[in-house]
Structure 1
Amino acid sequence: MNLVSPAPEERLKGGELAGERLRVLVISQHFWPESFRINEVVESLRLEGCDVEVLSGQPNYPVGKVFGGYSAFNFGTERHPSGYAIHRVPVVPRGGGGGIRRIFNYFSFVILGGMLGPYLTRSKRYDIVFVYAISPILQGLVGAVFRHIKGAAHVIWVQDLWPESLEETGFIKNGWALAAVGRLTLFIYRRADLLLTQSRGFIEKIRLVVGDSVPIAYHPNPGDMLLGENVSHESSSLKLPAGFNVVFAGNLGTAQALETVLDAASRIHDSEIRIILVGSGSRSEWLREQIERRRLTNVMLAGRFPPEVMPKIFEQSSALLVTLKRSSALSLTIPSKIPSYLAAGRPIVACLDGEAADIIRDASAGITTPAEDPVRLADAITSLKDMSQESRDRMGKAGREYFNSHFAPAPLARELINHFRNALARQGRTRR
């Protein structure tokens, strides 16, 4: 998201260290112009006074083809429209998302990030190396290289549990392979000065792996900056039809239990209710085929839209939908769309288990049902539609208030800076 940073004299001093700005290198295989939450975290850190640079790959997610203006084989440094440096290394594009191609994609970033990243940043000094560890956790190896070369404190923000997420999504089924991934994960964790988790439920799982050798703290994903400010200057090319529109936004993949969404839609007979799927992913084509085969006139595949127009799409919605598969690992996960949903001020229908469902209930922001239960999901959507507008507005308002208290970007950026300072303090103790 192309936000303009204030002039240096206007910045807060939260990111200053001993009179100097805290120098942060963010390592993330995916970054702007790809749409990931780390894009806005970088903007928030800069607004709080940090000097931030990014090491990333060539953008190719989610379609699997390198974006126009980029090349899979190039490496170098570009400037984000906001002015900061993005160091790019070559990657093997994801392609259609098949297992072998994805493995090459992952390892190309790890190997070339660890080799070419130090060259691209050879004249730079950093206080913090901050790894945005969406799958794969392998990105932590690149952070460990920079920790060694640059002498910076190494902070890993864990977004997915490994190897649990690999096993439960079926990406790896072999027991020996899963055990090897577990050992590699432990190796990566132990080379961090601080582990942050996007969910409180991750903490105990990771503690069982690393013991007390590395501190662990909870740090949630923030919501969308524009949604939090309740402003949108971009018009959306998606105009929702009249009626009760339930919008699902984000990745259309295996973990999202999309069979449950279609099964629920087939049980809804109210002609005013529509489920709008906004996004793309590995199951987009499967969804298109299933909608046609089942003749589901109440499900619409809208495609992908840039983040800056999502506030307008949410504004048109009657409710927002989030679903996940039933699994012990996913029950500990908080989908990154939930803070954005809360900020949007619309009632939420959540068909999932665990910590994410607890958040919706604690916020009084919508209706929750067990994961992979299409009957209860259909009933929840119908019940929400039958409520008074006043009741739905109350849910939306409660969600916005919960967002402001728990997921607003600026307070979370200041909290993240405090985590960085703690990591620096620990690094000083352990390296003496």
Structure 2
Amino acid sequence: MVSDIPKPSSPRRPASRWRAESRRPMAGGPHAAIRSGRRRPRILFVNQYYWPDHASTAQHLTDLAESLADRGYECHVLCARGRYEPGVEPPPAEEEHNGVRIHRVRATSLGRGSVIKRMADYLSFYLGAFRKAFTLPGFDVVVTLTTPPIIGLVGTLLRRLRGSCQVYWSMDLHPDASLALGQMSRRNPVVALLSWLSDAVYRQSDRVVVLGPYMADRIRSKGVRDSRMIEIPVWSRLDEVYPIPREGHPMREALGLSGKFVVMYSGNLGMAHSAVEFVEAARRLRDRDDVVFLFVGGGPRLREVKEAKRLEGLENVRLLDYVPREQLHESLTVADAHLVSMRPEMTGIVVPGKLYGAMASERPVLFVGPDHSETADTIRRAGCGVTVRLGEAEALVRAIEHLAADPGAAAEMGRKGREAFLAEFERDGCCDRWAELMGELAGDRRPAAVPDGPAVASASA
């Protein structure tokens, strides 16, 4: 169903903001302590990955920490020396980069090839992170992400033992994801314990930052009060991803893609996504020498694409490794249309951030996934692409053929996407909302009371 067909009416939900009417504000605003020269508020971020890693959480955390450091906060990051990609030389244990103090602990870097390897990487980081967290001086606010799962316990303990405010940045939900994918069973006592701990971290946090209303619904079901949640989406960067015309595009020419209609999947093709429809579309369009499917990145489901290419001789499928972040503006604009996918059972558990890079590149988006999710709602609201249900490869083929045959329609969708990106999903605007939250929390060290009333809209509203 292409996006220029009349769309179902759904009222646009206002950006969710944390309501702090019952809080005692700092005189002069939340950043008064910084401007007046008093002690700079200290913030600790905890996540397995950080710069120079290319993992999505690393990139977004780097953006946020550096943005807050520029505003005068004393920002520290606790992360692993091991890299997202195994075999890469680890960075130093201690350094300062762009005003952010980085503390790296030893952790294995076996990779994501199996559950055992991933668990080993997680466990080694847990041990190092807990030990390091209590050797560092106190912090006004501790922000924990969700890699690895339940690393938020570091924030919970620092909240209880040192009086820090705790913010849980819910990038995804675990073990919810593994349960939804059937990789774990709720009857397993270990899994039950992990679920209980995960839910307890959410409930104990002073604030939970969610990526959208469907995720808020999931977290609400864990017993987290609406007034503790604030919705701030992830983002892309205006100075990092920007439109480049197809004609004379340096990377298109270098890859031999001039004159082709390039359908691109960029980033991690993981278990939360689907590759079936992409492969089937490539099969059905294999005789069109003007259409190319380009996969840039990695992930466990990329194996399905590689196998189909090898066994069936799909010459219209091309594969590239991850590109450095500083080349994203060239890489993402190689595409004439971007592919995004998500399995229906992952609604509210993950929110594919690659959508915002695609919108920033001023290219239309082809989303394969549930009719109702943060991604589908954003595409319909912005009019920036096509939404296709899982299993409907023929609808995806028709959408690709439609965009390839009508460059004007593709350009208009891309323009609308870029416009929506600048209004809602650009780094500076999202980091402004984070800075407002940090200023309020750092001002009082600990909220005396949580305001009543909803702070985040429900997806079913």
* Residues 214 and 190 of structure 1, relative CA distance in 2, 3 Å threshold: farther
**Match for residue 7 of structure 1?**
none
Distance 1:331 1:96, change over 3 A: closer
Instruction: Quote the RMSD (CA, aligned, Å).
Output: 2.7
Report what 1:348 is aligned to. Answer: 365
Q: Does 1:339 align with 2:356?
A: yes
Q: 1:158 is aligned with what amino acid?
A: S
TM-score by length of 2: 0.81
Unaligned runs of 5+ in 1: 1-12
Partner residue in 1 for 2:429: 411
1:229 is displaced (CA, Å) by 6.2
Whole-angstrom CA distance in 2 between matches of 1:58 and 1:170: 31
- Partner amino acid for 1:85? R
Aligned with 1:133: secondary structure? coil
- Distance in 2 separating the partners of 1:344 and 1:241: 17
Matching residue within 231, 242, 267 for 1:250: 267
Does structure 2 retain, via aligned residues, the 8 Å contact 1:326–1:372?
A: no
Distance 1:150 1:67, change over 3 A: farther
2:105 to 80, 89, 100: 89
**Structure that is richer in helix per residue:** 1
The 3 A distance-change label for structure 1 pair 213 and 226 is closer
Report whether the alignment pairs 1:267 with 2:284. yes
Q: Which segment drifts farther, 256-265 or 281-290?
A: 281-290
Identity of paired residues, percent?
Answer: 25
Aligned to 1:386: 405
CA positional deviation for 1:225? 4.3
Deviates more, 1:249-258 or 1:370-379: 370-379
For each residue in 1:294-338, what CA deviation from the matched residue of structure 2 results, as whole angstroms up to 9, or x when unmatched? 2111111111111110111122221111112232x3366321111
Aligned to 1:67: 88
> Equivalent residue of 2:158, what SS?
helix
Measure how far apart 1:363 and its partner are: 0.6
Query: What is the CA distance between 1:140 and its match in structure 2?
Result: 0.2
Partner of 2:176: 164
Contact 1:155 1:423 in 2 (8 A): no
2:158 to 139, 146, 157: 146
Aligned pair 1:40/2:58, yes or no? Answer: no
Contact 2:267 2:298 in 1 (8 A): yes
Separation (CA, whole Å) in 2 of partners of 1:208 and 1:426: 28
- TM (normalized to structure 1)? 0.86
Is the contact between residue 357 and residue 368 of structure 1 (CA under 8 Å) also seen in structure 2?
yes
Q: How far did 1:197 drift?
A: 0.6
1:288 aligns with 2:306: yes
SS of equivalent to 2:363: coil
Counterpart CA distance in 1 for 2:142 and 2:269 is 31
User: Separation in 1 of the partners of 2:376 and 2:173?
Assistant: 18
Which runs of 5 or more structure 2 residues have no equivalent in the other structure? 1-28, 245-249, 451-461
Q: Which residue of 2 aligns with 1:357?
A: 376
Whether 1:31 aligns to 2:54 is no
Which digits, 9 at most, give the CA deviation of each residue in 1:123-152, with x for residues without a partner?
xx4221111224x43110122233345422
Q: Distance in 1 between matches of 2:221 and 2:150?
A: 19
How far does residue 257 in structure 1 lie from its aligned partner after superposition?
A: 0.8
| Residue-by-residue CA offset, 1:213-252 (whole Å, 9 max, x unaligned) | 9711211101134246669xxx859635121001111002
Structure 1 residues 230, 264: CA separation in 2 closer, same or farther (over 3 Å shift)?
closer
Match in the other structure for 1:6:
none
Equivalent position amino acid for 2:365 in 1 = I
Matching residue of 2:229: 216
Cα 1:77–1:169 shift into 2, 3 Å: same
**8 A contact 1:57–1:89 mirrored in 2:** yes
Per the TM alignment, residue 421 of structure 1 is displaced from its structure 2 partner at its CA by 3.6
Count matched residues: 405
Alpha-carbon shift at residue 16 of structure 1 (Å)? 5.2
| Aligned residue in 2 for 1:3 | none
Supply the distance in 2 between the matched residues of 1:45 and 1:226 (Cα, whole angstroms): 17
